[in-house]
Structure 1
Amino acid sequence: MKNLIFSFIVLSIFVFGCEKKSETKTTNYDFEINTSKSIGASTLVLKSISDSRCPINADCIGAGGAKAYFKLTANNIDQEIILCKGDCGTLASVANIKINGIDYSLKLIDITPYPQLQKRNVTQTVKVELTRT
């Protein structure tokens, strides 16, 4: 009986210890309007930003939201990706995409700087996180 229990424990260690771990790799990118990043043979470009967040020190009815519009070009095919943070309705801050047959998750981390009442025409930066899933 002891040998049977010992054999079961050893077998369990081998079965669960040999489980293949999925390889996830996360890369952070900063974009300004019309800047591009190469991802393998594909290109990701930030086309525009739509920022309707309530400015700092302003009294607003709602918090608003900020949208980042990207274009992903892979194999001569363009795909539009819209990521949103804040009050976005049906839009999400994460998009699942496929690049060269590999699944990725593109997540909007932040759009900076946050709007201010007196400052206009400020260069905004979009921070995203690309994770291989």
Structure 2
Amino acid sequence: MKYLVILSSVLLLFSCKKTGENLVLKQGQVGENGDLTIEAVELSDSRCPKGTNCIWEGYPEAYIKVTKGDSINHLSLGGYTTYDTIMFDYQIALIDITPNPEIEGEVKAYKRKAHFTLKKL
């Protein structure tokens, strides 16, 4: 019975329609999806640390460089701007920046990771 449940779960997973690729990048890292290249140039997070009360809630923000062939675009996702965009026939969305800010002190830039989804249109 246990194997039947596992087999059913695996079959269900592979039968689901793929909605996009997940991409996780640290600051300075470059990721690829087909013919699209994304570099996480700078990641910042001014959100209020968990367990505290802040006057301003803050926001995560990713400054990225998107390249396809000879075309290069720089843009910011998050912050007061949009969290997703369409570029080079891809929908690029910033899902989150982790880890969340902590009460004990600022999260160092090299520990931050930007979580994106990329969907070919």
1:74 is the counterpart of 2:68: yes
Distance 2:95 2:66 in 1: 18
List per-residue Cα deviations over 1:60-107 (Å, max 9, x = no partner). 1121111001101222332012110xxx33x01111111xxxx11011
The aligned counterpart of 2:113 is 125
TM-score by length of 1: 0.69
Q: For 1:40, which of 18, 34, 37 is the aligned residue?
A: 34
- Kindly provide the amino acid, as one letter, of the partner of residue 86 in structure 2: N
Which 5+ residue runs of structure 1 have no aligned equivalent? 1-22
1:27 is the counterpart of 2:13: no
Distance 2:91 2:86 in 1: 5
Aligned to 2:116, the other structure's residue is in SS state strand
Distance 1:50 1:112 in 2: 10
- Displacement, 1:25? 5.0
Change (3 A) 1:71 1:41: same
Aligned to 1:129, the other structure's residue is in SS state strand
Q: How many residues align?
A: 103
Deviation beyond 4 Å, 4+ runs, structure 1: none
The aligned counterpart of 1:109 is 95
Note the aligned Cα RMSD (angstroms).
Answer: 1.9
Q: For 1:53, which of 36, 47, 51 is the aligned residue?
A: 47
- Kindly provide the amino acid, as one letter, of the partner of residue 114 in structure 2: V
TM-score by length of 2: 0.75
Residues 28 and 39 in structure 2, CA contact (< 8 A), matched pair in contact too: yes
Residues 94 and 114 in structure 2, CA contact (< 8 A), matched pair in contact too: yes
1:92 is the counterpart of 2:82: yes
